[in-house]
Structure 1
Amino acid sequence: MQRSGTAVTERDESQFDGAADAYESSAFDIPVREHIEHHSIRRLCGEVNGKPVLDLGCGTGLYTRRLARWGADPVIGVDVSSGMLATARSIEDAQPLGVTYLRRDLTSPCACEPQYEHLTGNIPLILAVYVLCYARTREELTAMCRTVRTELKPGGVFIAPTLNPDYAVESPEGAYDDAYYAAYGFTLTAADSPAVNGSPVTLTMNFPEAADRKPVPALSVEAVWWSRETYAEALGEAGFTDVAWRSMEVSPDGLETYGRAFWQPYLARPHARVIVAR
């Protein structure tokens, strides 16, 4: 596995460094994350037992830990945020799963580190959950994809949930209504209508109160809207030849807990879709 440079700016770190607690809470408090995202990613990852897996933009290690519990080995989580990684390492210390965490920028790989050299170009599965939509420029997006291609084994798969390019298409359903996703615990605010490549999109997660914990403040982060064509071009320039978009689906538990009608508006205009590239 390759070591990366340090091109990411202070803005990138400040956006996430103080967000670790909220990010962990969102995995269970935001219904879409628990009952659609988690369920769909597990299905798309398939059999991972005994396989090396790289979790790019791992944050607090939510999916890094899940990959380890699903049987992947070794599992390496990579992120640029010191605050996120501090939480990930603290959880690993308390409940060891054998996960390795590295602080790296995802846009500019450089010289190999000896202990991971054997993994470069030999990783069969790379996961990047909501990472590509934080590339601020077309160049950064392509650079992220090149990093993935360098690490990925020939025939391996890259799974990347990202902001759904179609969510921001104007329609009678109110694509730009901030409250459209409120029932699911978050809002999206697009800066431009219609959206154009590079348009900022603010995602705000609102957490319910719970008697058994201190209140979790709302968390807002700024993502970037990229078109399907731009994603395809960036991946193609990086060396990917097979790029598909997959929809997420509701888990059986999610249907039982909330009912089908609850999920219908979200499924009609999901805020995220999954890129599967080879």
Structure 2
Amino acid sequence: MPVAVLCRDFGVWLDSERKLEVASQFDTAARAYEASATVIPIREYIEAPSIRALCGDVHGKLALDLGCGTGLYTRRLAQWGAKQVIGADIAEGMLTQARVIEAADPLGITYLNRDLTEPCRCDAEYAHLSGQIDLVLAVYVLCYATTVENLEAMCRSAKQDLKPGGVFLAPTLNSGYADESEHPGYYADYYAAYGFGMSAVTPPAQEGATVTLSMWFPDGSGVDPVALDAVWWSQDTYERALRTAGFTSITWHRMEVSPEGVQAFPAPYWDRYLARPHALVVEAR
């Protein structure tokens, strides 16, 4: 297996016209992305505990966080006990913040800026880990593939990074999310109570369509609202891409509210979201 494999990050899916555009939107969203982990209740009380549970026992394992952003889950993988953790991303603004955090509180994480459209420049120190990764995590990465071919390439990259029997976990956009076009108006927005909204640029959402996710934050948080453009793919398309990449076992998971979330926001607060969650987790082996 070529040593270039480990260096493959989610930059593989970027076509030449959109590479800078998409990287830029994440650069500018770095602060908001980090803040949303504790300010947006779904991220704190549904997403984080669900991903933690699905990762299982990572003690002594090698983990790769594809599309790591500011390193939120890269750090968590290290804190959960992974032996070695690598984060890879194409957005330098995100990586800059990740490295600042690592310098202030070292966890032994290595962050790589990689783009598969260019020759790999992987450090020899990490090249030998290619094909030896126990767990590849890609949080909200697959939903930024702009073509089926690019989606397949992303899945193939994860498969090649993994050791035999390794696990690929990828939270991604739920094709059955509640679009704003179904619930027009700011206060009527389906997800407004949870601090975000989602809408297809040209409804209805369909294969390859652009979907905008907008997040806003409480007054006094000091964080400006942010909007990111993702791509809608059906579950069938995700599964075909994963199978094309060589995965043979594919399972979809719904994320659940933690006991802390139920205590912080008693029923029926979560009911609306759980009926039409904006994201699901696909597990592939």
For Structure 1 versus Structure 2, the TM-score category normalised by the shorter chain is over 0.9
Q: Is 2:143–2:232's contact at 8 Å kept on the other side of the alignment?
A: yes
**1:107-256 equivalence runs, <5 A:** 113-167=123-177, 174=182, 179-210=189-220, 215-256=222-263
Q: Is 1:106–1:144's contact at 8 Å kept on the other side of the alignment?
A: no
**Structure 1 spans left out of the alignment, 5+ residues:** none
1:109–1:244 distance in 2 versus 1, CA, 3 Å: farther
Q: Say whether residues 1:54 and 2:58 are aligned partners.
A: no
TM-score by length of 2: 0.90
One of 90, 109, 112 as aligned partner of 1:80 = 90
Structure 2: how far apart are the matches of 1:72 and 1:2?
17
SS in 2 for 1:274: strand
Output one character per residue of 1:104-153: Cα deviation in whole Å (capped at 9) or x when no partner: 13678857642122211111111000000011111111110011011011
Structure 2: how far apart are the matches of 1:231 and 1:120?
24
Structure 1: how far apart are the matches of 2:144 and 2:197?
17
- Which residue number corresponds to residue 16 of structure 1? 26
SS in 1 for 2:102: helix
Q: CA RMSD in A?
A: 2.2
1:30–1:216 distance in 2 versus 1, CA, 3 Å: same
What is the deviation of 1:236?
A: 0.8
1:97–1:170 distance in 2 versus 1, CA, 3 Å: closer
**1:35-54 equivalence runs, <5 A:** 35-54=45-64
SS in 1 for 2:158: helix
SS in 2 for 1:183: helix
Q: Which amino acid aligns with 1:44?
A: L
1:183–1:82 distance in 2 versus 1, CA, 3 Å: same
- Which residue number corresponds to residue 80 of structure 2? 70
Structure 2: how far apart are the matches of 1:151 and 1:4?
8
TM-score by length of 1: 0.92
Output one character per residue of 1:163-207: Cα deviation in whole Å (capped at 9) or x when no partner: 001225899xx4777711010000001134332111100000001
Q: How many residues align?
A: 273
**Structure 2 spans left out of the alignment, 5+ residues:** none
